[in-house]
Chains A and B, each alone.
Chain A
Amino acid sequence: MEVGQLQRKFVDYTASLFCEGFLDEQFTQLQQLQDESNPDFVVEVVSLFFEDTEKLLNDLTRALDQQSVDFKKVDAHVHQLKGSSSSIGAQRVRNACIAFRNFCEEQNTDACSKCLLQVKQEYSLVKNKLDTLFRLEQQIVEAGGAVPMVG
């Protein structure tokens, strides 16, 4: 595919992610922070987010699996995840965390388990989307083009 086509694909794909609510304007903030002194800033932060989230999801799975669930601990993990997803603009993950916290407060194990599943699904979706987006960026750069700013 030639550069122009790739760039159009990139613009359309980015727009769809915002439209479908996977990303919100905080992601745009991240993109705007990227500059010559830090050309990989977005990828770096998002990679940190992936690593951090995977660890949190494991911790949450373990915590909810206990005989006697420590809801304070569960809530603390969800609070962390809500914070980081919010900071990178992963809107649907953030919203899933908000629902999750409500059930933590109610100390409802069943509902919490369902929420965890939901969070995992939303995370998996946004991870796929972002991986695709970054791959597209890479293709553009390799084809000698500039990555369009969409926002």
Chain B
Amino acid sequence: MDVGGVSSTSSSFLGMGDYGEEPHVLAVDDNLIDRKLVEKLLKNSSCKVTTAENGLRALEYLGLRDDQQNTLNGSGLKVNMIITDYCMPGMTGYELLKKIKESSILKEVPVVIMSSENIPTRINKCLQEGAQMFMLKPLKQADVKKLRGQLMKHRN
């Protein structure tokens, strides 16, 4: 359930028994419908999902907000991937990506950027800043399955 801030729901679908626990994905999007959609897509791909409605909330969850101590107490270490919308009020997905890549603890966590707009300069900018992948919205099940495949390779 998403109650405006940050929320976590566990997937009951255990499809990847060989790998033990399911990957935990933090999904960031200011659009409520898109949040619900990406959560379902990820759960259908055997991921545990936490959603956040903006960059600031995401950073709080990860323990990366400016006024938080950069300790291991944040939830950051429990996140295997972050997927974020590009266009968000306040902090864009690009700015969020930068903050994550600047963090000594979280810079190795793959970050995927989503956008409804196919703008090559935007895509390149994100990839150059270290985004794992750029995905066009609306997301489809096939896109997320591909992402899941990449994630498994990344873990190994």
Q: Which A residues have a C-beta under 8 Å from some C-beta of B?
A: 26, 29-30, 32-33, 35, 37-38, 41, 44-45, 48-49, 52, 76, 79-80, 82-84, 86-89
Contact = CB atoms under 8 A, between A and B. Distances in A.
A33 B141 contact: yes
Q: Which of B36, B37, B41, B141 has the most CB of A within 10 A?
A: B37
Chain B contact patch, size range:
10 to 19
B13 A49 contact: no
A52 B12 contact: no
Contacts of B44: 33, 35
Contacts of A83: 31, 33-34, 116, 137
B89 interface: yes
A38 to B, nearest CB: 7
B138 interface: yes
A84 B89 contact: no
B141 A29 contact: yes
Interface string B9-38: 000110000000000000000111110110
Interface of B: 12-13, 30-34, 36-37, 40-41, 44, 87, 89, 116, 137-138, 140-141
Contacts of B13: 37
Contacts of A29: 138, 140-141
A88 B32 CA distance: 12
B155 to A, nearest CB: 25
B63 to A, nearest CB: 29
Nearest to A33: B40
Nearest to A25: B140
B116 A82 contact: yes
A49 B33 contact: yes
A26 to B, nearest CB: 5
Nearest to B31: A83
A79 B141 contact: no
A84 B12 CA distance: 27
B114 to A, nearest CB: 10
Given A45-B36, A84-B33, A33 B41 contact: yes
A38 B37 CA distance: 12
Contacts of B12: 37
Given A33-B40, A33-B44, A45-B37, A87 B141 contact: no
A125 B58 CA distance: 37
A33 B41 CA distance: 7
22 contacts: A26-B138, A26-B140, A29-B138, A30-B37, A33-B37, A33-B40, A33-B41, A33-B44, A33-B141, A45-B33, A48-B32, A48-B36, A76-B89, A79-B87, A80-B30, A83-B31, A84-B31, A84-B34, A86-B137, A87-B33, A87-B37, A87-B137
Nearest to A46: B33
Nearest to A80: B31
